Amino acid sequence: MYNDRLRSMAVLVNAVVKSVAAVFGCSIQRISAYSSPMIRLAMLLDRLRTTVVIDIGANEGQFAADLRAAGYRGRIVSVEPLSVAHAALTRAAAKDSQWTIADRCAVGAAEGKATLHVAGNSVSSSLREMTAAHLDAAAYSKYVGTEEVRVVTLADLIAQYGAAADARVFIKLDVQGHERDVLDGAGDRLDTISGIQLELSLVELYAGQAVMPAQVDFLAKHGLALWSLDRGFMDGNTGRLLQCDGTFVRESAIVRG
């Protein structure tokens, strides 16, 4: 009887909370692996026994913060080239001893220097020129300036942060059309990582970028199979999906059971 009353009260409270949320135009849903891409990623990192996530194109640390909220407790190394975002990223990681911020830099095919195009919305900043398809879908992201940045390679980052004998490295890329350059800079190290998540563009959003079919084929040749897709950037004017997040896994690295 007591348990029945508790269940009835829980149902009533749930209904009241949802009703109040609806008044303010909000909805409340149960968070689960089915509804949360980040929870699914945290589950995958656990299955891969990941020891370090190298977060390239970290902006202000949104991905790392969400990954922590989803339950990942391992080491994160964040890399960001934009000066304002890098400063905010450093502040965000200040109280997390397992979250390392690399010196401000971009990542590319070879070491050197490059011009970073600074976007009006920060997150769309890129080493590449933005195309009309991108601007038509998000005019607010147009470039508003430039910054000169140092460029390092993914091979060097893995050697610095994931070279321990027991290291199991997962890479996250958010580099706005520069994915293939970053991957080309990994060299043989690409064959040592257990997984990678990156943006897959269905159309060319940045000049000269590799689009989704080429990216899937390239990663497959390095033993990384497409594991999951999650919706990303969409043209709100037409409803066309322009970009999604793809997660790729070296299936031999999965720990079963």
Residue 202, beta-bridge partner list: none
Output the CATH code of domain 33-253: 3.40.50.150
Task: For residue 41, give the amino acid letter.
Answer: L
Q: So what's the pLDDT on residue 34? A: 59
* Distance (Å, whole) CA 186 – CA 28: 42
Q: So what's the pLDDT on residue 21? A: 46
| Largest Cα–Cα separation, the chain | 72
Domain residue spans of the chain: 1-30, 33-253
DSSP string, 179-242: HHHHHHTTGGGGGG-SEEEEEEESS-SBTT---HHHHHHHHHHTT-EEEEEEE--B-TTT--B-
Q: So what's the pLDDT on residue 6? A: 38
Q: So what's the pLDDT on residue 26? A: 52
* Distance (Å, whole) CA 15 – CA 28: 10
Q: State the angle between helix axes of 62-69 and 37-47 in degrees (0 to 180), rounded to the nearest 10.
A: 70
Q: So what's the pLDDT on residue 14? A: 47
Average pLDDT of adjacent 10-residue blocks, the chain of 257 residues: 45 45 51 75 97 98 97 97 98 97 98 98 96 95 97 97 90 97 97 97 97 97 97 91 97 90
**Per-residue CA distances from 57 to 78, 90, 219 (Å):** 8, 13, 19
Q: So what's the pLDDT on residue 28? A: 44
Q: 202: Cβ–Cβ under 8 A, 6 or more apart, which residues?
A: 211, 212, 241, 242, 243, 244
- The whole model's pTM is what? 0.86
Residue 231, beta-bridge partner list: 244
Contact (CB, 8 A) for 107 and 152: yes
